[in-house]
Chains A and B, each alone.
Chain A
Amino acid sequence: MILDFPQLISQWETLPVHVFTAHEKGEILTIGAGTASGAVSGAIQGTASGAVTEHWKWPEQSNVDLSMDWKKAARITAGIDVGSVSSQAVVLLDGKLYAWSSVRTGSSSPDSALKALNQALKNTDLTLEKIPYVVGTGYGRVNVPFAKKTITEIACHARGANYMGGGTIRTILDMGGQDCKAIHCDEKGKVTNFLMNDKCAAGTGRGMEVLADLLRIPIQEIGPLSLKVEEEPPPVSSVCVVFAKTEAIGLLKSGWPVEKVLASYCLAMAERVTALLNRIGVEKDFFITGGIAKNIGVVKRIERILGISALNSALDSQIAGALGAALFANALLEKEERGKS
């Protein structure tokens, strides 16, 4: 009988035999536990090469609008958002969305910026040299070597959200990889009030990745699974991601099903970010950007606590910062051109 990791954890102490297998490089392939007769076994399955499945890994994405022709565009601009967990690139033709990508940030910000741009342009013959204005934003914005200007992610998310959700948006919640921002903006997407919390990873994408890895559940499945509880459990009490992880293990060992642990964690995250939002107040319309906007378990709970629904967009919530940066680049290039004429 093969158990998944949470089941194994909950039964660990009742099983007398604990087994670890490793391949020749010393990497763990399997952790198991069972009875002396081997009736129960298995847990983390590695690949033949010794690599253990990384459940936190979300799929990298890109898209290009092939109905548009960049050669006919008067202005080509790009925005690059280098975050702590993910990097995005957005390319605009005359202020309209042409291509975008969302990739994982590596150890080097300049390489991540280039990787994001190359990924966005991979199905086109447009190259970086033909893009006259690039704006960098995000945590690694100062390390985008081909950016002509850097702009904070707060201003870029507001501008991107205004494009994605329209001019009625007044409150934006950006739940990024390692920080969280509450933003108010006007009808043009200009920031009027903001608050950022980057002191702790709880309530952020990184916290969710840690949970996905701990429970061996693909990160995209956490939100839907967390909604499969009949009754909402209390939130995990710890706001710190390290303690929340320990608490989650304790809950599994005490017999909580995985869905209930996920619901408890998503609720804690929702309560934490709504407290941040309430500090500046929530005005309609409300919009959520960043990777966690894709976690329906967190989004539904935020909406329930606030008593309002977040506006939806057909575009990927994760590209809001890069999109805002590209829109700034478009306006700045236009200004430069006006100055020359």
Chain B
Amino acid sequence: MIANYGYTDGSGEYYISINTSFCAECQTHPCISACPQGVFEMITDDYDEPACSVKDSFRKKLNYTCSTCKPARKSSESPLFLPCVQACVNRAIKHTW
């Protein structure tokens, strides 16, 4: 399943997309410890599969939360530079902005 967490507001679209079909096979969930803000958590989804998810408390403020990581990405011009994206070897995490 592809889960998109985030929002659209007057300033843009801020979604983190997670392809959770990789998460069941992932043993160590490195995305969780890689995020300095603690955005991610492991949940059991509605179909009883383990899945990485964006915590409820962050879903409406992602632009603000991720702002500390984003300048680094801009300077490198590579989305892989984001700690969460880099940590997931399956490339299951994507940002829309």
Query: How far in angstroms is the closest Cβ of chain A from B11?
Result: 11
Interface segment, B2-10, B25-33, B78-86, B87-95? B2-10
Give the residues in chain A near B8, CB-CB below 8 Å: 197, 199, 275-276
B70 interface contact, C-beta 8 A: no
Interface size on B, residues (CB 8 A): 16
B56-82: contact bitstring with A at CB < 8 Å (1 yes, 0 no)? 000110000000000000000000000
Contact between B2 and A193 (Cβ–Cβ < 8 Å)?
A: yes
Give the residues in chain A near B1, CB-CB below 8 Å: 191-194
Give the residues in chain B near A200, CB-CB below 8 Å: 7, 9
Contact between B2 and A197 (Cβ–Cβ < 8 Å)?
A: no
Query: How far in angstroms is the closest Cβ of chain A from B76?
Result: 26
* Cα-based distance from A240 to B59 in the complex (angstroms): 18
Interface size on A, residues (CB 8 A): 22
* Cα-based distance from A328 to B46 in the complex (angstroms): 10
Give the residues in chain B near A328, CB-CB below 8 Å: 46
B13 interface contact, C-beta 8 A: yes
Give the residues in chain B near A280, CB-CB below 8 Å: 2, 4
Contact between B15 and A279 (Cβ–Cβ < 8 Å)?
A: yes
Query: How far in angstroms is the closest Cβ of chain A from B66?
Result: 15
Chain A interface, DSSP helix/strand/loop, else mixed:
mixed
Nearest chain-B residue to A191 (Cβ)?
B1
Contact between A155 and B46 (Cβ–Cβ < 8 Å)?
A: yes
B97 interface contact, C-beta 8 A: no
Contact of A199 among B2, B46, B60 (CB under 8 A): B60
Contact between B46 and A195 (Cβ–Cβ < 8 Å)?
A: no
Query: How far in angstroms is the closest Cβ of chain B from A117?
Result: 22
A190 interface contact, C-beta 8 A: yes
Contact between B4 and A279 (Cβ–Cβ < 8 Å)?
A: yes
Give the residues in chain B near A210, CB-CB below 8 Å: none
Query: How far in angstroms is the closest Cβ of chain A from B78?
Result: 23
A236 interface contact, C-beta 8 A: no
The answer to whether A190 and B47 touch (CB under 8 A), given A195-B15, A200-B9, A239-B10, is: yes
Contact between B47 and A195 (Cβ–Cβ < 8 Å)?
A: no
Query: How far in angstroms is the closest Cβ of chain A from B58?
Result: 12
The answer to whether A199 and B9 touch (CB under 8 A), given A151-B46, A155-B47, A190-B47, is: yes
* Cα-based distance from A239 to B3 in the complex (angstroms): 24
Contact between B2 and A192 (Cβ–Cβ < 8 Å)?
A: yes
* Cα-based distance from A280 to B94 in the complex (angstroms): 13
Query: How far in angstroms is the closest Cβ of chain A from B51?
Result: 11
* Cα-based distance from A279 to B8 in the complex (angstroms): 11
The 3 closest A-B pairs by CB, nearest first: A155-B46, A199-B7, A195-B4
